[in-house]
Amino acid sequence: MDPSTKSAMSSPASTPGGRKRGRNTNPPTPSSEDPTSPPSQRRRGQDSSTGDLMPMPTSPATDMLSPAAPQDTSLLSSPRPSVPPNEVDMSSPLMYGTPSSRIEGTPRSGVRGTPARQRPDLGSVRKAPQVDLHSEPPSTDGAVASESNAGQRLVIWGTDVNVGTCKEKFQRFLQRFVDPTSTEDENAGLDLNEPLYMQKLEEISVVGDPVMNVNCRHVQSFDADLYRQLICYPQEVIPTFDMAVNELFFERFPDSFLEYQIQVRPYNALKTKSMRSLNPEDIDQLITISGMVIRTSQLIPEMQEAFFQCQVCAYSTRVEVDRGRIAEPAVCRHCNTTHSLALIHNRSVFSDKQMIKIQESPEDMPAGQTPHTTIVYAHNDLVDKVQPGDRVNITGIYRAVPMRVNPRQSNVKSVYKTHIDAIHFRKTDEKRLHGLDEEAEQKLFTEDRVQTLKELAAKPDVYERLSSALAPSIYEHEDIKKGILLQLFGGTRKDFSQTGRGNFRAEVNILLCGDPGTSKSQLLQYVYNLVPRGQYTSGKGSSAVGLTAYVMKDPETRQLVLQTGALVLSDNGICCIDEFDKMSDNTRSVLHEVMEQQTLSIAKAGIICQLNARTAVLAAANPVESQWNPKKTTIENIQLPHTLLSRFDLIFLMLDPQDEAYDRRLAHHLVSLYYQTEEQMEEEFLDMAVLKDYIAYARTYINPRLSEEASQALIEAYVDMRKIGSGRGMVSAYPRQLESLIRLAEAHAKVRFSEKVETIDVEEAKRLHREALKQSATDPRTGFVDISILTTGMSATARKRKEEVAQALKKLIQAKGKTPAMKYQQLLDDLRGQSETAITKELFDEALRALADEDYLTITAETPEFVHLQLEPE
Q: Are 19 and 50 in contact (CB under 8 A)?
A: no
CB of 275 vs other proteins, minimal distance in Å: 9
Residues 6+ apart with CB under 8 A from 572: 432, 533, 614, 615
Which residues in 2-152 belong to E strands, given as ranges? Answer: 130-132
CB of 656 vs other proteins, minimal distance in Å: 7
Give 299 or 821: the residue with its C-beta nearer to other proteins: 299
CB of 757 vs other proteins, minimal distance in Å: 31
CB of 93 vs other proteins, minimal distance in Å: 19
780 CB-contact burial (10 Å; exposed 0-12 / middle 13-18 / buried 19+): middle
CB of 149 vs other proteins, minimal distance in Å: 28
Sign of CA dihedral 442, 448, 451, 453: negative
Closest CA to 471 of 488, 454, 453, 455: 488
Which residues in 632-721 belong to E strands, given as ranges? Answer: 650-654, 705-706
Give 273 or 357: the residue with its C-beta nearer to other proteins: 357
CA 499 to the chain's CA centroid: 30
Give 253 or 350: the residue with its C-beta nearer to other proteins: 350
H/E stretch holding 575 reads strand 574-578
Amino acid at 300: I
Give 84 or 324: the residue with its C-beta nearer to other proteins: 324
- Three-state SS for 264? strand
CB of 418 vs other proteins, minimal distance in Å: 6
CB of 609 vs other proteins, minimal distance in Å: 20
Closest CA to 465 of 452, 449, 478: 478
Give 479 or 515: the residue with its C-beta nearer to other proteins: 515
157 CB-contact burial (10 Å; exposed 0-12 / middle 13-18 / buried 19+): buried
Whole-number Å distance between alpha carbons of 83 and 810: 117
CB of 212 vs other proteins, minimal distance in Å: 27
Q: Are 128 and 42 in contact (CB under 8 A)?
A: no
Give 295 or 501: the residue with its C-beta nearer to other proteins: 295
Give 151 or 407: the residue with its C-beta nearer to other proteins: 407
Give 59 or 369: the residue with its C-beta nearer to other proteins: 369
Amino acid at 506: A
CB of 17 vs other proteins, minimal distance in Å: 6
Question: How many of the other CB atoms lie within 10 Å of CB of 755?
Answer: 14
Sign of CA dihedral 61, 62, 65, 69: negative
CB of 538 vs other proteins, minimal distance in Å: 7
Whole-number Å distance between alpha carbons of 419 and 429: 23
Question: How many of the other CB atoms lie within 10 Å of CB of 476?
Answer: 13
Q: Are 469 and 484 in contact (CB under 8 A)?
A: no
- Three-state SS for 571? coil
Give 320 or 746: the residue with its C-beta nearer to other proteins: 320
Give 367 or 608: the residue with its C-beta nearer to other proteins: 367
Q: Are 374 and 346 in contact (CB under 8 A)?
A: no
Give 42 or 705: the residue with its C-beta nearer to other proteins: 42
CB of 602 vs other proteins, minimal distance in Å: 20
Label residue 123 left, alpha or beta by phi (over 0 means left) and psi (-120 to 50 means alpha).
left
Residues 6+ apart with CB under 8 A from 121: 377, 379, 380, 382, 396, 397, 421, 422, 423
CB of 396 vs other proteins, minimal distance in Å: 14
Give 42 or 770: the residue with its C-beta nearer to other proteins: 42
Whole-number Å distance between alpha carbons of 489 and 491: 7
